[in-house]
């Protein structure tokens, strides 16, 4: 208040007389030791030609530090203090997925990793309702996410391979696991997933060799990966792509040791592997046709396979899971999967086990 009084050139004694209070009261108000009643506050604002809000402001309460809680950390990414995380509740468990940035923008985050050793997470947001946690490696998860947003469902994706996705499902850390392991018919997927799970078809895709534009190394089959001057961007053990590659190499009698890059640090995902080819760090990888299409790379098909979604039956009544199953049946989603990713969606949404 003293600032406004001096700005108007009004002495404390004059202001006190005009407002009908003592000079000591004016000084007490300016020091913050006295809060006037409504009538006095309005009189002072009228005299100094300002608003009551400009004269008197409540002190902001001290900002409380965001709470730090325990969470299960799943998915890839570095576990460093301060790493951004997306959060989702799966049953009674709080699950955190590293929110990986891309070169042109920061990814959304609900919390920060406070203590990597003890899995302690600093919460930035407490809003986790209507969220669904899916683990898997399908590049089209972002397409599914956009369509679920229209149903007011937030999708948190843990980018892991098929084997890791099923393991997270068994541990009760995800609502849905995506898988395309070898021999992935509905019954075979259900057998791998175990009892108590339902299996729904997502889409049929092609998987094969992703090579540079124009296929400069003239690669046509897996045995060509052993040629001199060819480097592979391999996938991690447990991934469907690695299983496909290893089975094809075994069939033609080629050892992985004879392939440059086979034992290098693996790429975590179809898009990550295809990016290495796009960036010139490798000449070939095994991934989906959609990953090749995303970077404008050439593709040599090796197999067609179905990507399935495994859902514990106890989650089938969970509202976000019901919205997911409804979304799978929508023509708009299928059309985008077909045109953008090249998927066959004739079975999409069907319960296959």
Angle between helices 162-170 and 186-193 (to 10 degrees): 50
299 with 262, same domain: the answer is yes
C-alpha to C-alpha distances, 310 to 88, 176, 184, 191, 228, nearest whole angstrom: 18, 6, 12, 11, 41
Q: Is the domain of 69 the same as that of 116?
A: yes
The pTM score is: 0.75
Question: Do 305 and 241 sit in the same domain of this protein?
Answer: yes
- Residue 64 has what pLDDT? 65
Distances from the Cα of 226 to the Cα of 202, 240, 245, 326, angstroms: 34, 21, 13, 46
What is the pLDDT, as a whole number, of residue 41? Answer: 86
CA distance 178 to 133: 11
Question: Residue 110 gets which letter from DSSP?
Answer: S
- Return per-residue pLDDT of the chain as tens, 353 residues: 788 888 888 888 888 888 888 887 887 777 776 778 888 888 888 888 888 888 876 555 555 677 889 999 997 666 788 888 889 999 889 999 988 776 666 777 888 999 988 999 998 876 777 899 999 999 899 999 999 999 899 999 999 999 999 999 999 999 999 998 765 455 666 667 778 999 999 999 999 999 999 999 999 999 999 999 999 999 999 899 999 999 999 999 999 999 999 999 999 899 999 999 999 999 999 999 999 999 999 999 999 999 999 999 999 999 999 999 999 999 999 999 999 899 999 999 999 98
Bridge partners, 287 (sequence order)? 208
Residue numbers of the domain that contains 95: 64-128
- All residues at 6 or more sequence positions from 144 whose CB lies less than 8 Å from its CB, including other chains: 134, 155, 324, 327, 333
What pLDDT, on the 0 to 100 scale, is given for residue 105? Answer: 67
Q: How many CB atoms lie within 10 A of CB 20?
A: 10
C-alpha distances (whole Å) from 243 to each of 189, 249, 282, 286 are 15, 10, 19, 10
CA distance 297 to 22: 83
**CA 82 → CA 33, 156, 158, 181, 300, distances in Å?**
41, 19, 19, 34, 41
Of 76, 111, 128, which residue sits at a domain end?
Answer: 128
Same-domain status, 83 and 180: no
Cα 157 from Cα 147, distance rounded (Å): 14
Residues 218 and 313 in one domain: yes
Considering 30, 55, 80, which residue would you say is the last residue of a domain? Answer: 55
pLDDT recorded at residue 329: 93
pLDDT of residue 84: 87
176-179: strand order across its sheet = 154-159, 131-136, 176-179, 298-312, 197-211, 284-288, 232-233
Same domain, 137 and 238: yes
- Which pLDDT belongs to residue 290? 93
What CATH number corresponds to the domain at position 250? Answer: 3.40.190.290
Which of 107, 128, 149 corresponds to the end of one domain? 128
Q: Are residues 277 and 296 in the same domain?
A: yes
Burial class (CB in 10 A: 0-12, 13-18, 19+), 23: middle
Measured distance CA(179)–CA(203) in Å, rounded: 11
Q: Is residue 246 located within the same domain as residue 155?
A: yes
- Residues 8 and 98 occupy one common structural domain: no
116 shares a domain with 51: no
Q: What whole-number distance in Å separates Cα of residue 138 and Cα of residue 218?
A: 27
Number of domains in the chain: 3
Query: Can you tell me the distance from the alpha carbon of 135 to that of 309, in angstroms, rounded to the nearest whole number?
Result: 9
The residue assigned the tokens 């898988």 is 179
Q: Are residues 216 and 349 in the same domain?
A: yes
Give which of 136, 144, 141 is closest to 330, Cα–Cα: 144
Q: Based on the domain organization, do 317 and 170 belong to the same domain?
A: yes
Cβ atoms 165, 176 nearer than 8 A: no
The pLDDT assigned to 5 comes to 82
What CATH number corresponds to the domain at position 24? 1.10.260.40
Antiparallel, parallel or unpaired: β 232-233 and 197-211: unpaired
């Amino acid at each position: 208040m003293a600032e406004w009084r001096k700005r108007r050139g009004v002495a404390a004694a004059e202001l006190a007389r005009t407002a009908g209070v003592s000079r000591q009261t004016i000084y007490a108000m300016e020091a913050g030791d006295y809060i006037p009643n409504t009538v006095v506050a309005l009189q002072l604002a009228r005299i100094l030609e300002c608003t009551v809000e400009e004269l008197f402001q409540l002190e902001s309460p001290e900002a409380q530090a965001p709470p730090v809680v325990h969470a299960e950390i799943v998915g890839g990414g570095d576990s460093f203090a301060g790493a951004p995380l997306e959060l989702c509740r799966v049953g009674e468990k709080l699950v955190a997925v590293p929110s990986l940035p891309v070169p042109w923008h920061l990814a959304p985050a609900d919390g920060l990793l406070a203590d990597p050793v003890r899995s302690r997470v600093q919460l930035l947001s407490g809003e986790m309702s209507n969220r669904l946690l899916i683990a898997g490696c399908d590049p089209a998860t972002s397409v599914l996410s956009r369509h679920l947003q229209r149903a007011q469902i937030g999708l948190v994706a843990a980018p892991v391979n098929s084997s890791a996705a099923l393991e997270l499902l068994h541990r009760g850390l995800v609502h849905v696991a995506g898988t395309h392991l070898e021999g992935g018919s509905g019954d075979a997927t259900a057998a791998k997933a175990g009892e108590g799970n339902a299996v729904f078809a997502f889409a049929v895709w092609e998987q094969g060799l992703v090579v540079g534009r124009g296929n400069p190394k003239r690669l046509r089959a897996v045995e060509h990966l052993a040629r001199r001057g060819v480097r592979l961007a391999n996938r991690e053990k447990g991934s469907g792509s690695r299983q496909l590659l290893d089975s094809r190499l075994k069939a033609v009698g080629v050892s992985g040791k004879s392939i440059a890059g086979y034992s290098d640090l693996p790429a975590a995902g179809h898009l990550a592997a295809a990016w290495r080819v796009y960036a010139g760090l490798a000449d070939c990888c095994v991934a989906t046709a959609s990953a090749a299409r995303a970077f404008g790379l050439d593709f040599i098909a090796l197999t067609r396979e179905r990507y399935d979604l495994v859902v514990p039956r106890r989650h089938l009544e969970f509202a976000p899971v019901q919205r997911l199953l409804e979304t799978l049946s929508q023509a708009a989603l299928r059309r985008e999967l077909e045109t953008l990713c090249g998927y066959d969606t004739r079975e999409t949404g069907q319960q296959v086990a």
